[in-house]
Structure 1
Amino acid sequence: MVQVVCQDVEKRAVKMMEELYRMKQDEDHCDFIVQVGNDIYPAHKNMLSAGSDYFRAMLKHDTKESREGRIVFKDVDSDCMKNCIDFIYSSKVEIPDGKNIELLHVAIILQLEDVKHAISDILAESITVDNYFSTRNIADIYGLVDVALRCRMFLQENIMEIANQAGFGSVEKGDVSSSLKAANRKLLEEEKLELSLKWIETCEKKKEYLHEFLELIECDGISPAFLQKLLETYPVIRNDSNLYKLITGHLPESSAELIKRKKLIVIFDDEENSILSLNPITEKITKFHNAKITEEDRFSVISYQRYIYILCDNQSVHRLDIGRKNAKWQRMEDMICDHGGLPRSVLFCGSIFLIGGSEELVTNDVERFDPSVNRWFPLRNSPTAICNASLVSLNDSVYCIGGETRDGFQISSFYRFTPSSSEWIILESMRYPVSGCGAVAIDQKIFVTGGWRGDDTINNVECYDVTSAQWTSLSSMNFEHGRNAAYHIGNWIFVLDTFVVERDVIEKYDLVNKIWCSIKMEEDQSFSSYGSAIVKI
């Protein structure tokens, strides 16, 4: 007997696969039909059985499909079915644009493990912050263990960014705990606490886990100022005395005591050349500090931590340590640019930001002051040269509201500036043009009060919802307020005129009952305000 041996088995196998694929394409000797909707794909039973456990189980028995030589699929993508059948013949698969999940679905039905693993690898390598939750859901639905593991690793590495996504509340408690443990060297203790609060506030029942999270955080590393910010930012703490006590109970005694400081509104009274304070509870104005107002003629006021800063017409900057009774004004580094007599400023992430000009000076200059190093840094200019715009910070951005252009007209423009990327974005304009208005951010809303429209002061109030990106009008104030400042304390918004003479009325808005109330100053308490700021004592 003569035995013939093929010298290149692999080459012959490839040739046979190519020939079988050609036979399928030419419908040569095909004995089975795969149908999806109106699309028909001829094939060979033997090839389908050899390449797919699904078809093998179907065709080895006396099933309806085996007898009729046809199977009809519903709720699958036709192109993906064709590609999977082609894979059985060629060991190659093409993924239609944007249809990797549809192809995965068909591959799992046909039990094509190689295709399933190939798509799993693609998903695992393509995880981003934006698609994290959709990828994780796909891994759960289709049992993709490797993808689920990569999602868990990605979560630990990018937990702070993912916490800002809408689906963060769906993250399992164990994954949050694991991320806190795994991030011991990457996250600051303050970030860990804020991360925990973001997750807890998504569901009332999650409050019970805060104690467990706090055990994973070195609370000695959390500053009182940061904790105070969290208390003001997250209603879940502000409205729950038990959570408040739980958090403060993990702080050093001195820090826990410090965050109980009350808020006051300090007022620079030009007439008396003194610094006054308004107590929001008693609604009384009293002398706040012994220091006299600086000799500079015109300035705006802002506070940060234990200091009050004044930003002057001649670009000089001064600060006062309000924690020291006999403190004197300290000269800081001058501003880089001229922002007019009443520079428009806002505090964001421990820095003071200035945008545009004030009074009659129109400019698009933007700069940032870092108090920790006493330095100003130039930033990307605003899209439009403006003056007398109002500024407020919220989340990761600074918002620029209204103002005036070079022709002297008020505008309704509304911009968002993200310092981390130096990106300016134009948002939906306000309903009316305005300049010199007050602005304050509360939760995910920005309240805009009064201001100037043309030559008239107004009492209008608008509110911008950051989540829905829409403006709405609220009930008007009882009085008209031109250039003014708005402050959030407790359940109230306080509105004070800025740079006015003999103002004897302050207004406050009840956020719960949505009504405006007037605080009438006693005859000996009227003041001529150069500016104001909010401080904690």
Structure 2
Amino acid sequence: MSQNKTTRKLEKKADTSIHLQSSSVKSRNVGEERREKEAGSRIASSSLTRNVREKKSSIPPSLSTSSFSPPIFRKPPPTEHAFDPELRPFVLSTHCDALFASLRGLQEEGLLLDCSLKLLANSHKAHRLVLAAVSQRAEAWLISGEAGLKEVELDGGRMTPAGLKAVLDFSYRGEVERGETDEVLEACRCLGADRLEQLCGKDAVVNGSEERERSLRVIRTLWERNAGCDVILQTDSGDHFAAHRVILAAGADYFRALLCGGLRESSEGVVLLRGVTSWVLRNLLDFIYSGRLNLSFKNVWDLTEAALQFQLQGALSLCLNFLQDNMDETSCLDILALAEAYSLEDLGRRAEDYVLANFQRVAKGEKFRDLPCVQLQRLLEKDALNADSELAVFRAVVNWVEDDKDRRLSHLARLMQSIRFALMRPEELQEVQDCKLLLRSSGGKTALETVNNLLHGDRRTSDCKPRTPNQVLVLVGGDCVNENFERREPNLCLWFARRFVRGEGLIRTIEWKALAHLPEPPRFRHCVCVLNNTLYILGGRKYYGALDIMKTALRFDPAQGRWERLPDMSRPRDYFAAVCYRGKVFVLGGNCDDMNCLDSVECYIPEDNTWRLSHPLDVPLCGHAAAVLNGEMFVSGGCDSHLRCYPSLWLYDPVHGCSKRAPMTAGAGRAGHVMLVSGHRLVVAGGLQPMWAGYGDQMQCESYDPVHDSWTSFPVLPRPHLSPAAVALDGQLYVLGGSSADSARDMPWVHRYDPQAKCWDKLGAMPRPYADLAACALQLPISLKS
């Protein structure tokens, strides 16, 4: 095989053996020089660069003839021996096993073999260094300094092929073959393999991993003594580091391709490594020979880049774990830039999550000022951004622009589009209106128009979603048996979950706090929905007579703690469904007089403060559920006026009405249930189902895939929930309260479904065992939550 073909084969293998590589060795003609372009963003003098540069090609050529200039994320220590009190040792437990597995691979492929053991006309090739870790005789061959392939004629009268095989297997695997103990012992005596000889005399089980660790310690000692080193690595400063070719090739794919691929460096005694400092190279060599790195924030940046350059996956893992475990407000943006420069996706996600969770503190740091506009805009658009209020987000953007006003003012329009002004209180909007910076650009003036409209009560038609970390779970209305067990009483309080407490063992509790009181009359069997962080409370009933069903509607602004009475719906409704859709509030069907169900649909338009009728449902329904997924409205289940329970699922359009989708599969029908969005699917849970005599609890859940129009099973609820409340919050599903169709008892529990664990978990009880309640997620002012 030609030199180029051999090199291409090795390159392909190196590319597929490591996922987080930033470079690969390319074949080239002798004398051809390639220079690597700068990759990614630079962070100099312990701060972010003003802009993250476009990441360019990072293909290092032959190391002896080219210069490698990786991004500099931190200033390195001034000298190799600089004292760093924060340095801590980190050990990769899998390093030794991986190294010896790679050594076995080199032996099997016939690469870098320098020892040929002839026995009975057969030749057994190996690496002198690996044998020297267990054999005194092989150590003498290694120290002799003889170049090329060392050929040794073994005494066929004393040693057998089985005995030699046992020594070689022990050298590369750390495993002991006791099948022919006498033959193994004789081979050990011939080769001076004292450690294997001692193990053969023991009955205890030999731990191969421990024996490989002992062999690696011997190899490291030989390296420290400069025994048998056959290559010199030279840095730009002229410092030299002796090493063993076989260990370099086994420890890093980069060196394997360099030393085994037929390039000029594979036959040279001195290899020049450009762009790597002496102290970095010494640390990487120390890792290859031990699996250990000493890390701190002063050296981890350079070591991470070098581990990427030389494709040292193990060292890279230690560096990335260090960065993840020690991330704080001063380092998270550096880590994010490093991750984006080298396409380290998992590290980038973790760094971004940290920035979002600690946005206000990060925004006060100096490095935030150097954040590139594209990156800042991406952070602002995230629902997961955590801040006390949207005003704090606005202030951070203004400070960022003013730090370099001449260059950044042109970005103001883009950034203002990511500010959620509809979530601000009037006094916060007033501060925005007083910001003179907004008058200096057309985009800023557009933002001022939006703020002015909001101050004058003009609500936008688009739904402004609250940021997830700032939201809390809120209970609205419902009824329960009073404390004396004399009668049922409606609930006038709005409660929010201040925190979820995990006690000893399986004990869980929820700390509830009163948010506000419903204006009279109280409500149950009602609906709620949230538009622009404003709570809409619709219909329901105030007591238990047929004339107690209501058509009134309320609106609650949590930022101001203010209630507002809205125009009445056209019909009284309870056991209906409501959703926010395209900036409007839709109510669908429901019971109007305890005798007849409704098929009518009407929507509330905030801009006009009016209700308007939409296309009716296919059938009159009550006890159904509705949800919006991917911009489409779905309606599931419910009962008609004849108490027939439907398993149906409809896609509803306000203009064209219903179109049928695949029906639910669990039971003959479902009503009094909830439907929530989980990822790109719909989940139905709780309610009741038709039985051979009446109705019974439906505890089975199922999820709907709109792409394939199909239902699949979902983990079963631990307890029955008939007419409960339900909320999707932060990727998790909450089902609260309700009752049991079988026992007629109210259900006090809150259950949460975690998509990661794929199970329901009981979080604790509500303030009272409410039934026929509603719930939502609201963003509350920090003063209320604290």
TM-score (norm. length: structure 2): 0.35
Q: Which has the higher contact order (CA 8 A, sep 6+)?
A: 2
TM-score (norm. length: structure 1): 0.50
